[in-house]
A and B are shown apart, each in its own frame.
Chain A
């Protein structure tokens, strides 16, 4: 059974159809890339999976449960975590504090007015572990807002990972980054995918990243599903080439 099954979802904004009748099935442990030209509806598609937007029609099933109408927080509790195209972190808190809030939320401590010394130690160890994995150990006491774009993004990814998700949605994880940062983030994603057997769906523009990471690729154009397949199949697909490069004259 697929971990995530998106069944013929559409989203309209007034007369604009941002996403039209798109389906997708993601298997456990799969790393799927969603690509497409600007305005193809990729982020809208993501927003519907994560609960940021409700679909105008269609169904989203996660691990056998219909989550179409659930709130973002409820989807997080079921194991869907995401990052955003524009990094969403707590800029005026330190890296450790950012991670700590995520770890406490994941541990179900959000309503606790206090936690025991033992629980505190577990939280602290988990925070250290995440900050090591994210390559943030040497700057974990700095304010996130003062860090480089790549480190902020790494913090956001580690916060999402702190939630112990079964499905991680990454919206353009390398957007606006230099080559070195892009390589670091790509390496981080590959490592997380390998270590945690995570299912990951990512939107990405950088084709080196996409072809370097993805098991399968799905191509959206103008809100519709243009193609889907392995990286080799997509690279050879004429419709995809046309969408990216324009119709041959």
Chain B
């Protein structure tokens, strides 16, 4: 794909994202759906850092997403009623858990790695489910809400103004996406693509493969926990479904739908998934069957996802 097209694509995507609160209602939708797309897009872009660019499939990313969400909710509810403080705790908890679990799983490959990520994910799910005194179990952490952002000279009401919260989520997404894109373009990012393309060759170029997979895993989980904090803030609520394995599965489905070899694939995949969900679920409870059918068609006819139809871009 010529360079001009890529630029044009980027500009179009950012334009649509920046103006979403204005055109979404006109298109018969609502701003909160846009926020949900952006939050999921961040989670899936983070997953895709590992899946699409390192070639490692995790079916347990919801764990770190959920830890971010729980960290935020519990901090705001019980410790400090501040949105940034809640986010910080959520991100630290999610990333720390990933950093500790990483060394136990990075030597595994393929389906074994995926199975272990599910297993560890379910551990956190059951903790959230069972530790009633802290998490309120199945009923989730409620009776708290995100706090307006206090910038010192002014305060932004992200609580009651849904457009303001949309832009807050979009800024977080933009910063994180830019950081990931920057990393992928660096020599470090190239080593990850090398591992995806041919692990044996990477090893014999002097790249310590397991260590780099661990780093990619931690970076990916760091960004997915940021998405998790936004998810809690968006709902003013969190329950164990946020870190259950089907949540992880949805992330993978979104990445594959959009195209895991393209940087914007996860955003497109999340948008398709959530818009379909929003639209179909207002007509039938069986919305997942339709998304499943759509997913099967995409995988059969466009195995590289919606964006995979276009040609790949060079690394540098």
Contact = CB atoms under 8 A, between A and B. Distances in A.
Interface of A: 50, 71-73, 76-77, 81-82, 84, 88-94, 96-97, 100-102, 104-106, 109-115, 141, 156, 159-160, 163
B204 interface: yes
Nearest to B209: A73
A224 to B, nearest CB: 27
Interface residues of B, number: 25
B201 A88 contact: yes
Contacts of B207: 73, 105, 110
B206 A115 contact: no
Given A110-B187, A112-B188, A94 B314 contact: yes
A76 B201 CA distance: 11
Contact of A76 (B186, B197, B204): B204
A105 B205 contact: yes
Contact of B312 (A88, A90, A92): A92
Contacts of B190: 97, 100-101, 104
B197 A73 contact: no
B205 A97 contact: no
A112 B186 contact: yes
Interface string B177-210: 0000011001110110110011011011111110
A114 B182 contact: yes
Contacts of A113: 182-183, 186, 188
Contact of B194 (A81, A101, A115): A101
Contacts of B282: none
Nearest to A104: B187
A111 B193 CA distance: 13
B315 A97 contact: yes
B205 A112 contact: no
The 5 lowest CB-CB distance pairs between A and B, nearest first, are A76-B206, A90-B197, A109-B187, A104-B187, A88-B201
B316 A93 contact: no
Given A92-B197, A159-B205, A160-B204, 9 more contacts: A50-B204, A71-B208, A73-B209, A76-B205, A88-B200, A93-B197, A110-B187, A114-B186, A159-B201
Nearest to B261: A92
Contacts of A94: 314-315
Interface string B209-224: 1001000000000000
Nearest to A107: B187
A73 B208 contact: yes
Nearest to B206: A76
A106 B197 contact: no
A101 B206 contact: no
A112 B315 contact: no
Determine the main DSSP class of B at the interface with A.
Answer: helix
11 contacts: A73-B203, A73-B206, A73-B207, A105-B205, A106-B205, A109-B188, A112-B186, A113-B188, A114-B186, A159-B201, A159-B205
A141 B209 CA distance: 26
A163 B207 CA distance: 11
B201 A163 contact: no
A90 B194 CA distance: 7
Contacts of B197: 90-93
Contacts of B316: 96-97, 100
A50 B206 CA distance: 11
B123 to A, nearest CB: 31
A190 B315 CA distance: 32
Contact of B203 (A72, A90, A112): A72
B114 to A, nearest CB: 22
B232 to A, nearest CB: 29
Given A91-B197, A91-B198, A113-B182, A77 B187 contact: no
A67 to B, nearest CB: 14
Given A88-B200, A110-B188, A102 B205 contact: yes
A77 B208 CA distance: 11
B315 A163 contact: no
A219 B30 CA distance: 76
A110 B198 contact: no
A82 B314 contact: no
B303 to A, nearest CB: 14
B205 A163 contact: yes
A141 B188 contact: no
Nearest to A92: B197
A218 to B, nearest CB: 22
Contacts of B193: 90, 93, 101
Contacts of B212: 110
B196 to A, nearest CB: 9
A100 B187 CA distance: 9
Contacts of A112: 186-188
B307 to A, nearest CB: 16
A109 B197 CA distance: 19
Contact of B186 (A73, A105, A115): A115
